[in-house]
Each structure stands twice: as C-alpha cells, then as structure tokens.
Amino acid sequence: MYRTRRKLADGREILYFDAEPNPREAIDRRDLPITTTHSQARYDTLLGEWVVIASHRQTRTFLPPADQCPLCPSTDDRLTEIPERDYEVVCFENRFPSLSTAAVEFAEHVTGAPLALLRNGFGRCEVLCFTSDHNASFAELEPARARLVVDAWADRSAELRAIDGVEQVFCFENHGEEIGVTLSHPHGQIYAYPFITPRVQKILASVARYRDQRGSNLFGDFLAAERESGVRVVQTNEHWTAFVPPAARWPYEVQLFPHRQVADIDDLDDVERDAFASIYLDVQRRFARRFPDPMPYIAAWNQSPLAHRDEWWLHMQLFSIRRAPGKLKYLAGSESGMNVFINDTTPEDVAAELREVT
C-alpha cells in the first residue's frame, strides 16, 4: 500500500491509498471557507453516557443526484471533495464533522443543568471512499481493492488512536437509504471518540465479570463455542469465522471474528488481512443476494478502546434492518424506549438461509 497525504482548499487533510506508487498531485481549486464545528458532548447523568450535539450538520449534503456527487472524482466541469480525476481508495476529513480536533471550548456544565457535564466536541471524523465508481458497492469490489480498504482502515485507526485525547476509533459503513445514508457513493466513515462508547463499555464490563467468574477470556470462549457447534456459522476460513450471534438483535446480523486475539485492525498481519477481505466479501455478497430488494446494512468494526487493549478481541458486526422482502425492522416502543430488542427472525434460521445463498 502507498499513502499520499495532501490538503483540500479549506485546510482539511485528504489521503490517497494506492496499490502502486502514484504522486496524486492534483490541487483542490475550489474557493471554500475554513470548516468550523460547534459540536458539544453532553453527559446523560441518568444513563451514564455521552451524547454529541452537532446542530451544524443540519446543512450537510443530502442525497444529491449522481452527477452532483461530492465523492466522485473531479472533472474539468465539476470540482468535488476529491481533486483527482480518478482514485482507488481515498480518505479525508469530513466537511460536516460531528467531532473535530479544532473544537471550541465550552463551560463545565450545561446551562441550567449542573448535573449535566459539558465538554467540547473534540475528536475527528473522516470519510473513506472505497472506489471512484459511483454505482458500485462493497460487495462488488475485487479482493485486491477490498484488501486495500482494510489497509486504509488499519492506517487510519493507528494514526487517529495516537491523537492525544482520543479514547476509541470506530470504522463503519452505512449502506442504503433505509439506513439513513446521505450520500449513495460507496463509502464509510471513521470516528475518533474522546470517550469509550456505551456498547464497548457494556462489553468490557461483561469481559471483566466473566474473567472474575471463569478465569478465561469471554471473547475467546464465545468464538470457540460458535465454531464448535457450527449451527450459526455462515462462513469460515483458516483465520476468520463469520456467524450469526445466538442472541442476535437484528433480523440479519453476522459477526466476524479473527481466530487470533488482536485489539485493532492494524494488529492484523498480512495473511489475516487477506483472509478477512475474502470472507467479508463472501458474507457481503450473501447479504446482497438474500432478497430481491437491496439489503440496507451497517458494518461496524469493534476495536479496542485505548486503555483496554490487552482485554479486547477485534471483531466486525454486519447487520441489516431488512427482515423480509419489502419489510423493514423498525425500532419501536420496546427497542427505542427500553432498549429491549425483539427480533422477528431466528438466528439459527438466518444462518442457514445465508449459508444457502449462492
């Protein structure tokens, strides 16, 4: 992998990832104001969780037509976020970030709410484009391109994790209008949080409790049990296993675990990265072909928070709100009000269905 770092017209960073050396010398000729953010992180005292307030994102670009896509390469007639006329994989700072390293300082508490802690919206948000082909999808990538994306995830994870004040790095992809994407070009995002996210906090508590009770690693035992039973395994290779979790919350959900305990994507060696690209493309294509309708999904890397690398086990969570042709899973009263998920599918049946997809 070859990385080239450049600047956009408003000072944001853009990084090109290529399989072969490429100077990437195009200049961003747009007249852009300097990007600013006024986001805050407010602490929910009752739930013990941080909530990000980012009202400036109301003006972000929303589902433009293909000929106005800001993630396509630039042309003589139209300048986009990517100055080059073509690219393989590219990453740049979000123009409408929820979190920013240039965040403005705020007071210690929310006005009129002395129990609600307040901090600035510190962090970093990046956009990662998987291909210059506007009409493609991750499932349609060649293995070499998918591997290049893995290398880009690893590169950004390591660099963002090194920023003073960052506690956790989250790489993810939202795919499909039903999920809420605002740009249809194949891309994902990367968030560098200044706190440990609620999901990871819960997992860490479970890992610690299991270690105290059983004296072993919860992740490792969980993976070993799924591999041994095989009933929910969708696909496996020498280095990875993809399976439907036994208590799946989403109609279609697959978790991908490496067989070796590593904390982050950049800890994976070359062979493990190749193996992930292979199995992930396989699972992605099974998702894509499961129904006549496109499968909206979220792909979420669960990486280690900075302070818990020895305890963590990297894994990917891929899930969809599609429960049947023409039917979506909505988070209604129980899910949204009490965070108690009620699944309309059976994990064992979903695993069998995905195994049968060709």
The pLDDT assigned to 64 comes to 83
pLDDT in tens, 197-245: 999 999 999 999 999 999 999 999 999 999 999 999 999 999 999 999 9
3-state helix, strand, coil in the chain (%, to 5): 30, 25, 45
Catalytic residue among 185, 187, 239, 315: 187
DSSP code for 189: E
**Distance separating alpha carbons of residues 224 and 243, to the nearest angstrom:** 11
The rounded radius of gyration (Å) of the Cα atoms in the chain is 21
Asked whether residue 17 is assigned to any structural domain, the reply reads yes
CB atoms within 10 A of CB 331: 13
The helix (H) or strand (E) run that includes residue 241 is strand 240-243
Asked whether residue 45 is assigned to any structural domain, the reply reads no
Give the distance from CA 345 to its chain's centroid: 24
The pLDDT assigned to 37 comes to 74
**Distance separating alpha carbons of residues 247 and 237, to the nearest angstrom:** 23
User: C-alpha dihedral over 193, 126, 68, 4, to 10 degrees?
Assistant: 180
The pLDDT assigned to 61 comes to 66
The single-letter code of the amino acid at 156 is R
Angle at 162 between CA 156 and CA 165, to 5 degrees: 115
Residues 123/192, Cβ–Cβ less than 8 Å: yes
Total domains in the fold of the chain: 1
Asked whether residue 351 is assigned to any structural domain, the reply reads yes
Asked whether residue 40 is assigned to any structural domain, the reply reads no
CATH number, domain containing residue 325: 3.30.428.10
Greatest alpha-carbon span in the chain: 64
The pLDDT assigned to 34 comes to 80
For residue 56, indicate whether it is catalytic.
no
**Token pair for 169:** 């790095």
- For the chain, residues with pLDDT lower than 70 are 56-63
Asked whether residue 111 is assigned to any structural domain, the reply reads no
Asked whether residue 25 is assigned to any structural domain, the reply reads yes
Range of the domain at 172: 1-30+61-95+123-358
Could you tell me the pTM of the whole model? Answer: 0.96
CB atoms within 10 A of CB 349: 11
Asked whether residue 117 is assigned to any structural domain, the reply reads no
Asked whether residue 26 is assigned to any structural domain, the reply reads yes
